[in-house]
Structure 1
Amino acid sequence: MSEHPQDEELWDERYRSRPTLWSGEPNRHLVGEAADLAPGLALDVGCGEGADAIWLAQRGWRVDGVDVSGVALQRAAEHAERAGAEVAGRISWLHENLTAWDPGRGRYDLVSAQYMHLPQPERDVLFRRLGEAVAPGGTLLVVGHHPSDLQTTVPRPPRPELFFTGADVVALLDPDGWDVVTDTAVARPATDPDGRVVTVHDTVVRARRR
């Protein structure tokens, strides 16, 4: 997690520092929460090297994958091509700074934001904008590191304002316009720098726009 979440130069350099930065597998909470959704148009927010977008496209979704890093997007496009022309043809890669980009209103059947950690004012603006981008009947899925992770020995930036709970996300949604399907903190094992296995938690919020 970067302390400058939308710093293009920083993220480009971080990607260049490794042949691959992420696992190449789709995020587990996307798989768990979106597997039962009917395919439509999806927005993969902070798509990185493209694993989530590719997983969605393989299941029939059309996907806009957006990221601040041009290096990440180039890798994502290459990974999609290796997954096959049909998969690659369902994905559009968008090079945008998410704190300034407007995805439009009511466009997407699924908006997925996985581990987007910004300071609260910018985060609230982004999450509200992402909610507005969801079409009626569509789904907003937000996943992030839970604030309780700061009490563990797993490395996290010492900035509490970067972390959020499900309640923080739900509070941004108009209760008359949304049905909250999932609001939980999911425990999972992680290994700290000393090799110890500890328990961390992921905030997972899935909401359906009425």
Structure 2
Amino acid sequence: MTDPRDRWNERYEGPTAEFPDDPVPELEGRLSTLPDGRALDVATGTGRNAVFLAEHGYEVDAVDVSDVALERARDRAADRSVDVNWIRADVADFDPGCQRYDLITVSFFAALEWLPDLKDALAPGGVLLSEHHLRSSDPVAGPSSDRYRYRSNDLLRACLDLTILSYEERRRPIAGDADETIAVATLVARRSSGGRQSYPNESVADSDSTSR
């Protein structure tokens, strides 16, 4: 079996590898509503979310298994004159210890298996922002195998112990390529310090765009 580090290094070293500079739209659009403080960016890749958060005053830990990706991320941070604590680790092996985060971001990484640990790493009132590819009956960009895509409502069900602030399943254009779309599930949820959790009143899944 190929080591995850080697597999991802090969991907980031590829001659046609292109990775976006901007943070995911949900993070950029919701920034003013998110708690300040310490942030963790999981599977940071080339650091687009981590650098964005550091630029806006967060103390950021960013984890990825790929040496190549983290080197590009360090260069990006240096170009923007911000500091990020880059951590080379497989998410399966990463242990935040007693550290608690006010914001945790997970973008386009199938993290269902590790969500319990990530939720435990949220500080009271801390927010999880997670986005990943969905299975779709229509041609969309992203992983070629459904093995690496979420089913409809997988992400929502995995976070019902948090207060759900927003959950949406939709297709959207890829940044810089209006002719190509991705199917995504996007969740924003808060770790409440007490009282009852709250949930969306109705399903927001787009049954026309995603397969169940």
Q: Same fold (TM over 0.5)?
A: yes
What are the residue-to-residue correspondences of 1:3-22 with 2, within 5 Å? 7-18=4-15, 21-22=18-19
Aligned to 2:33, what secondary structure does the other structure show?
Answer: coil
The residue number in structure 2 matching 1:120 is none
What are the residue-to-residue correspondences of 1:18-167 with 2, within 5 Å? 18=15, 21-84=18-81, 87-88=82-83, 91-104=84-97, 107-117=100-110, 123-148=111-136, 151-165=137-151, 167=153
Uncovered stretches (5+) of structure 1, i.e. residues with no partner? 118-122
Structure with the largest fraction of helix: 1
The residue number in structure 1 matching 2:168 is 184
Separation in 2 of the partners of 1:158 and 1:81?
A: 34
| TM-aligned CA distance change 1:79 to 1:167, over 3 Å | same
Shift of residue 112, structure 1, vs aligned partner: 0.4
Shift of residue 189, structure 1, vs aligned partner: 2.6
Separation in 2 of the partners of 1:101 and 1:17?
A: 26
* Corresponding letter in the other structure for 2:97: G
Contact 2:142–2:182 (CA<8 Å) still a contact in 1?
A: no
Contact 2:133–2:142 (CA<8 Å) still a contact in 1?
A: no
Q: Does 1:171 pair with 2:153? A: no
Give me the identity figure in percent: 31
Separation in 2 of the partners of 1:204 and 1:102?
A: 24
Shift of residue 181, structure 1, vs aligned partner: 0.3
Tell me the matched-pair count: 190
Poorly superposed stretches of 4+, deviation over 6 Å: none
Shift of residue 21, structure 1, vs aligned partner: 3.0
| TM-aligned CA distance change 1:69 to 1:201, over 3 Å | same
* Corresponding letter in the other structure for 1:135: A
The residue number in structure 2 matching 1:204 is 186
Contact 1:105–1:135 (CA<8 Å) still a contact in 2?
A: no
The residue number in structure 1 matching 2:203 is none
Shift of residue 158, structure 1, vs aligned partner: 4.4
Separation in 1 of the partners of 2:75 and 2:127?
A: 28
Separation in 1 of the partners of 2:6 and 2:107?
A: 21
Contact 1:33–1:206 (CA<8 Å) still a contact in 2?
A: no
Contact 2:44–2:62 (CA<8 Å) still a contact in 1?
A: yes
CA RMSD in angstroms, aligned pairs only: 2.5
Contact 2:103–2:122 (CA<8 Å) still a contact in 1?
A: yes
